[in-house]
Amino acid sequence: MSKDYIIEQLKKQISQASIDTQREKVGTVLEVRDGIVRMDGLSDVMASEMVEFADGTVGVILNLEEDQVGAMILGDFKGIKEGDEVRSTGKILSIPVTEKVIGRVINPIGQAIDGKEVITSDVVYPIEKLAPGVIERKSVHQPVQTGIKAIDAMIPVGRGQRELIIGDRQVGKTAIAIDTIINQKGQDMICVYVAIGQKESKIARIMNELEKKGAMEYTTIVLAGASDPAAFSFIAPYSGAAIAEYFMDQGKDVLVVYDDLSKHAWAYRQISLILKRPPGREAYPGDIFYLHSRLLERSAKRDEKYGGGSITALPIIETQAGDVSAYIPTNVISITDGQIYLEADLFNKGIRPALNVGLSVSRVGSSAQTKAMKKVAGKLRLDLAQFRELEAFAQFGSDLDANTRAQIERGRRTVEILKQDQYAPIPFEEQVVVLYALTRGFMDDVAVEKVTLWENDFKKFMRSQRSEILQNIIKEKDLTDEIIVQLEQAIKDFKDVFAE
Amino acid sequence: MKISPKQYARTLFEITKDQDQKQITMIIEKFVNELRKNGHIKLGAQIIRAFEKVYNEKNDIVQARVITASKLVESQRESVAEKIVEMYGAKKAEVTYSENKKIKGGIIIRVGDEVIDASVQKRLRSLAQQLT
């Protein structure tokens, strides 16, 4: 390459670059508090517009007052001092979205934090967006298979639904969400796991587990760590929703987990209090309900006319000492289409997932449940409800009539069957055959301690010797008379083998 | 009711408008007494700043800060002030000049919260941004 050519190119590049001078609006930092700055000037700035500080840090405008503006800082605020110049950018807070985010860990402003290549994209989505309206929506009609027997059978979740997972600390809320993500393999679903104010060690563990199960191939993790500024925790769920919307706009189905919205509310409370917005109940600001309702409203099942696609949301709320009547839990319960309620008592009794079947509901999921599951699940709920009523009498053992005793025995086996290990989601067709065997009384003569063993062996038997029945259930999504005959024969065959 | 410095400044402007020097001295005395009565004496500095703004606004005077790398001579200053008056359609420009070696060359004009940055430093920076 000749010297002249290089110089020529350089000249060309420089002459093409536009370095015209323009009038700009700037502001001056008046005061800096924890993650919040107040500025004057910036007279034409928009709400939630990005501004740039002298050291390159980005901020977002939150308050527009008579002669001041308040902004939160996205990043380190140590370099910002009083009197610094602030420039407006004219852009609403948005993040780059691309297919490349799949399999990655990013922070809430779309930067990779897993040490791999930088994520760039020409497409940017605003973090805050109005939810799809009535015309664009369709009622929920396709199931999300969580792979957890108790949930798929009794609290079914549909694509486009918002199902809250609520419970005390350490009762397996995240476990349910992660199991659901793992079970989406091959289900044509993209998953976004939004970690809000979580321990980085926990996220590292989750990422490892997802990688091991091959679930990172369709999953993005949006991480606002416990040591990141509160502003990150505040915008993280909206970033997650923006990524989900990008995929929904392509007609794909997306599952978003918000883990957890209590910490999100805390972050917003902190920001609001520092901005001197008036505190209300439990010191939360007045718009705390809208904070969550506008986020969860963005999950939707889109009508095919508008491109199809869906966003299913699994928000998580942590309660203190089982108190579901606190401010944030009641808010989110009223926004969502049902809740999965986990209890510490059940967890300690060894019933895992520690699902309280009585208090958990799914308001729209039943219309999305497959027919096959519906046929076995109706009986299951009834069995369990009767068992709860009679459980107190169980200690009178021999004094009970045969019918009551049978119901108690059935109930014990039902509870046993609904137990399930972590990271071990079960495919839908296997759930159906196991629950069929249970509800039709085929397991009544199996000892309670042996139920789990029986179940595992039975699933293995079905997979290896009667896989055509499982295939038929997948195909028909229903238990036809023909399948039932085959299935009952298979169960009988298996019981002969198991007895030996 | 809470009275803001801006409101005080506006009032002061209204009552001193078209008055001669003697009357103004009297008005100011009464005004300060009023401030003392309301316990707003500590707002003094803010009121002065707000009054300056109100006065300039009403009389079409722009206040500008001009930063250059080296000191401007009188003729240059005059043309800069003329240009500012022309750009903002004002009657008069009150310009304060200062020097900053860091900008390397060119000029930065600041009026209110608006900045016209025609410094060499800024141009180099935007060139660097576009070439990367």
Q: Are residues B80 and B98 in the same domain?
A: yes
- Which tens digit of pLDDT belongs to each residue from A70-116? 999 999 888 899 999 999 988 999 999 999 999 999 999 999 999 99
pLDDT value at position A110? 93
Give the Cα separation of A319 and A333 in Å (integer).
Answer: 12
Q: How many CA atoms lie within 13 A of A306 on its CB side?
A: 15
Cα separation of A51 and B125, whole Å? 18
With CB atoms and an 8 Å threshold, state whether B114 touches A23.
yes
Cβ <8 Å between A43 and B113: yes
Pair of tokens at residue A491 = 């169960």
Q: Based on the domain organization, do B69 and B54 belong to the same domain? A: no
CB contact under 8 A, A21 and B122: yes
Range of the domain at A68: 26-92
DSSP A67: S
Rounded to an integer, the average pLDDT of A457-463 is 93
> Cβ–Cβ contacts within 10 Å for residue B94, how many?
14
Domain boundary among A330, A353, A369: A369
Q: Which domain holds residue B120?
A: 61-131
Domain CATH for A458: 1.20.150.20
Cα angle: A393, vertex A394, A395; to 5 degrees? 95
- From B126's Cα to the closest Cα of chain A, the distance in A is 6
- For testing contact with chain A, the best of B53, B115, B127 (most A CBs within 10 A): B115
Beta bridge partners of A126: A94
Q: Which residues of B touch A (CB under 8 A)?
A: 6, 110, 112-118, 122-123, 126-127, 130-131
What is the model's pLDDT at position B117?
87
Q: How many domains does chain A have?
A: 3
pLDDT digits (tens, 9 = 90+) for A54-82: 888 999 999 999 889 999 999 988 889 99
Cα-to-chain-centroid distance, residue A117: 26
What 8-state DSSP symbol labels residue A35?
A: T
In a shared domain, residues B54 and B78: no
CB contacts of B112 in chain A (<8 Å) are 41, 43
Instruction: Please check whether residue A171 is in contact with residue A321, taking contact to mean a CB–CB distance below 8 angstroms.
Output: no
Cα nearest neighbour of B129 on chain A = A17
For A149, other C-beta atoms within 10 Å of its C-beta total 26
Q: What is the ipTM of this complex?
A: 0.76
Q: Do B115 and A19 touch (CB under 8 A)?
A: no
CB contacts, 8 Å: B113 with chain A: 25-27, 40-43
Give the per-residue pLDDT at B1. Answer: 67
Q: State whether B124 and B97 are in the same domain.
A: yes
How high is the pLDDT of residue A397?
64
Q: Which residues of A touch B115 (CB under 8 A)?
A: 23-26
A30 Cβ under 8 Å from any chain B Cβ? no
Among A347, A369, A391, residue at a domain's last position: A369
CB contact under 8 Å between A14 and B127, yes or no, is: yes
Alpha carbon of residue A153 to chain centroid: 19
**Exposure class string for A181-202: b at 16+ Cβ within 10 A, else e:** bbbbbebebbbbbbbbbbeeee
Same domain, A337 and A189: yes
| pLDDT per position as a tens digit, B78-129 | 999 998 898 888 888 889 999 988 888 888 998 888 888 888 888 888 888 7
Query: Looking at residue A83, which CATH number applies to its domain?
Result: 2.40.30.20
B117 chain-A contacts, CB cut-off 8 A: 21, 24
| Same domain, yes or no: A151 and A290 | yes
- Chain-wide mean pLDDT for chain A? 92
CA pair distance B27, A363, nearest whole angstrom: 72
User: Both B49 and B37 in a single domain?
Assistant: yes
Q: Are A189 and A254 in contact (CB under 8 A)?
A: yes
Chain A residues closer than 8 Å to B6 by CB: 67
Residue A247 lies in a domain: yes
Q: Is residue A413 part of a domain?
A: yes
Please list every residue in chain A whose beta carbon sits closer than 8 Å to the beta carbon of residue B130: 17-19
Same domain, B78 and B111: yes
Kindly report, residue by residue over A236-256, the tens digit of the pLDDT: 999 999 999 999 999 999 999
Q: Could you say which of B114, B115, B127 has the minimum Cβ distance to residue A19?
A: B127
What's the mean pLDDT in A389-413? 83
CATH of the domain at A365: 3.40.50.300
Q: Specify whether A162 is located in the same domain as A307.
A: yes
For residue B57, pLDDT beyond 90: no
Q: Half-sphere exposure of A419 toward its Cβ, with a 13 Å CA cutoff?
A: 20
The distance of B20 to chain A (nearest Cα, Å) reads: 32
Q: Does one domain contain both B50 and B66? A: no
| A118 contact B CB<8A | no
Q: A349 with A451, same domain? A: no
Whether A451 and A417 have beta carbons less than 8 Å apart is answered as yes
Contact status of A15 with chain B (Cβ, < 8 Å): no
Do A48 and A182 lie in one domain? The reply is no
Contact B117 A43 (CB under 8 A): no
CA atoms within 13 A on the CB side of A293: 8
B76 and B50 part of one domain: no
Q: Model's pTM, two decimal places?
A: 0.90
Which pLDDT score, from 0 to 100, does residue A56 have?
Answer: 87
Angle at A233 between CA A229 and CA A236, to 5 degrees: 130
Give domain status of residue A465, yes or no.
Answer: yes
Question: For chain A, what is the largest distance between any 2 Cα atoms, rounded to a whole number of angstroms?
Answer: 105
The string of DSSP codes covering A81-145 is -TT-EEEEEEEESEEE--GGGTT-EE-TTS-B-SSSPPP--S-EEESS-PPP-TTTB----SEE-
Please indicate, yes or no, whether residues A111 and A73 belong to a single structural domain of this protein. Answer: no
Asked if A13 lies within 8 A of B131 by C-beta distance, the reply is yes
* Residue A332: closest CA among A315, A354, A319, A313: A315
Residue A480 domain-assigned (yes or no):
yes
Query: Is A21 a member of any domain?
Result: no
**Is 70 exceeded by the pLDDT of residue A19?**
no
The minimum CA-CA distance between B22 and chain A, rounded to whole Å, is 34
Token pair for A3: 């010297």
Contacts of A24 in chain B (CB under 8 A): 114-117
Instruction: Determine how many CB atoms are found less than 10 A away from the CB of residue A76.
Output: 12
Domain membership of residue A260 (yes or no) is yes
pLDDT of residue B93: 87
Told to judge if A87 belongs to the known catalytic residues of this protein, a careful annotator would answer no
| Pairwise CA distance, residues A190 & A255, whole Å | 6
Q: Which residues of B touch A43 (CB under 8 A)?
A: 112-113
Share the mean pLDDT of chain B: 88
How many other C-beta atoms can be found within 10 angstroms of the C-beta atom of residue A135? 8
Rg value, chain A, Cα: 27
Distance from CA of B26 to the nearest CA of A (A): 31
What mean pLDDT do residues A449-466 have?
92
Q: Is residue A15 part of a domain?
A: no
Provide the number of CB pairs (under 8 Å) joining chain A to chain B.
Answer: 40
How many CB atoms within 10 Å of residue B33? 10
Model confidence pLDDT, tens digit, residues A478-490: 999 999 999 999 9
CA distance A11 to chain B (A): 11
Identify the domain boundary among A92, A112, A133. Answer: A92
The number of beta carbons lying within 10 Å of the beta carbon of residue B78 is 12
Is residue A20 situated within a structural domain? Answer: no
Q: How far apart are CA B7 and CA B19, in angstroms?
A: 20
Mutate to test the interface with B, among A21, A42, A67 (most CBs of B within 10 A): A21
Probe site for chain A from B47, B102, B113 (most A CB atoms < 10 A) = B113
Whether the CB-CB separation of A425 and A183 falls below 8 Å is answered with yes
B54 and B68 inside one domain: no
Between chains, do A21 and B117 touch, taking CB under 8 Å as contact?
yes
CB A432 within 8 A of CB A372: yes
Residues in chain B, how many? 132
At which residue do the structure tokens 């904070």 appear?
A291
The residue whose two tokens read 């069957």 is: A417
Concatenating the DSSP letter of every residue in A322-385 gives: T-TTSHHHHHHHHHSSEEEEE-HHHHHTT-SS-B-TTT-EESSGGGGS-HHHHHHHHHHHHHHH
pLDDT class of A1 with cuts at 50, 70, 90: low
- Say yes or no: B68 and B41 in one domain: no
Parallel/antiparallel/unpaired status of strands B106-111 and B61-68 = antiparallel
Residues 6+ apart with CB under 8 A from A379: A439
A42:B113 CB<8 A: yes
- Domain total of chain B: 2
Which residues in chain B have their CB less than 8 angstroms from residue A40's CB? 113
More confident residue, A253 or A12: A253
Same domain, A487 and A392: yes
Instruction: Tell me, yes or no, whether B71 and B103 share the same domain.
Output: yes
The answer to whether residues B66 and B52 belong to one domain is: no
- Say whether B113 and A25 touch across the interface (CB within 8 A): yes
Determine, for residues A26 and B115 on separate chains, whether the beta-carbon distance falls below 8 Å: yes
> Do B114 and A25 lie within an 8 Å CB cutoff?
yes
Q: Catalytic: which of A33, A169, A205, A363?
A: A363
Tell whether A27 is within 8 A of chain B (Cβ). yes
Alpha-carbon distance A16 to nearest alpha carbon in chain B (angstroms): 10
| pLDDT of the residue at A401 | 85
The model's confidence at residue A198, banded by pLDDT at 50, 70 and 90, is very high
pLDDT at B31 over 80: yes
Instruction: Say if A409 is an interface residue toward chain B (CB within 8 Å).
Output: no
